[in-house]
Amino acid sequence: MNIITLTSDYGNSSHYIAAIKGNLLKHIPTIQIVDVTHGIQKFNKIEAAFVLSNSYKNFSEGSIHLICVDTNIYEHKNIIIAKHQNQYFIALDNGIINLIFDQQSIEVWVFKKALLANVDLFIENDVFVKIAEHIANKLPMSDIAELGKLTNELVLRNVTIDEDGITANVAYIDGFGNVHFNLNKTTFEEVRKGRSFKIYYARKNFFDTISKHYNESVSGTELLLFNSNNYLEIAINKGNASQLLGLKINSKIIIEFFN
């Protein structure tokens, strides 16, 4: 049984979600559909990439991921089918794919333009579903696509690194109000080089220690940790960090390292 996931910025009350699910089940009745999220901020490719990069590793080989964010085919021209660890990712060539994999090795296929003639404006429910059906039926990829490369690669320009510091930004806020930054533990430790640090957030507040779990602070106070996916996170024990600290998507943290 194939697993097909849906990630979108439709919002949970949108009819688009039901339309895609119905069409998928009509064409591939044996599949299992998983909603990753439909709460991505409108056109927020950084947030979509962050969510997928932290979730796809938990899916089995053969899974197919439909990325329904910023899907204007007239702007982005190409539909991409990326293959990584025997999973498939269907999106427009809008920069999301390269953000998900961050220079990891991927196989990139570009959907044949000849097959886009008279395409419906709702390409997620048209072309994306047809591609998913093709993959699920184990048909040759060369029938519908050609090997190619990404032409629109997003760069996280809001992350800056120098010898004595890092500036990172909020990439995602989860349902608990925990604030996730686009900075992973590996990068943090490589720049840190064993030095002490201060991480400034929410005006002049700062952390100089990193917790190991959410219960290390008393109820109602904030803490800093690397989450299960090794990304930096600010949380409040039994509270909403985003609301209480005024942190939003793209809010900055400034990290200073010193001996």
Which residue, among 164, 154, 174, has the nearest Cα to 197 in the 3D structure? 164
pLDDT for 154 equals 65
Indicate the SS3 state at residue 87.
Answer: strand
How does pLDDT run across 211-259, given as a tens digit for each residue? Answer: 988 888 888 889 999 988 788 999 998 899 999 899 988 889 999 999 9
Residues in the chain predicted with pLDDT less than 70, given as ranges, are: 103, 154-158
Report phi then psi at 49, rounded to 5: -65, -40
Domain boundaries, the chain: 3-147, 160-258
Place of tokens 């509270």: 239
**Contact predicate 79/71, CB 8 Å:** no
Among the residues of the chain, which ranges form H helices?
Answer: 15-27, 45-53, 73-76, 96-101, 123, 129-136, 185-192, 241-245
What is this structure's pTM? 0.78
On the question of a common fold for 3-147 and 160-258, the answer reads no
The amino acid occupying position 207 is F
| Matching CATH number, 160-258, of 3.40.50.1360, 2.40.30.90, 2.30.40.10, 2.40.50.140 | 2.40.30.90
How far is residue 124 from each of residues 7, 117, 131, measured CA to CA in Å?
A: 11, 15, 10
Q: Distance of CA 123 to CAs 70, 150, 159, Å?
A: 11, 19, 32
Give residue-wise pLDDT tens across range 103-120.
Answer: 678 999 999 988 887 777
Hey, which CATH number is domain 3-147, 3.30.365.10, 3.40.605.10, 3.40.50.150, 3.40.50.10790? 3.40.50.10790
Please report the pLDDT score of residue 87 as a whole number.
Answer: 97
Average pLDDT over the chain, rounded to whole? Answer: 90
Distance CA 67, CA 91 (A): 5
Which residue is associated with the tokens 């895609």? 20
Q: Using CA atoms, how far apart are residues 223 and 237, in angstroms rounded to an integer?
A: 8
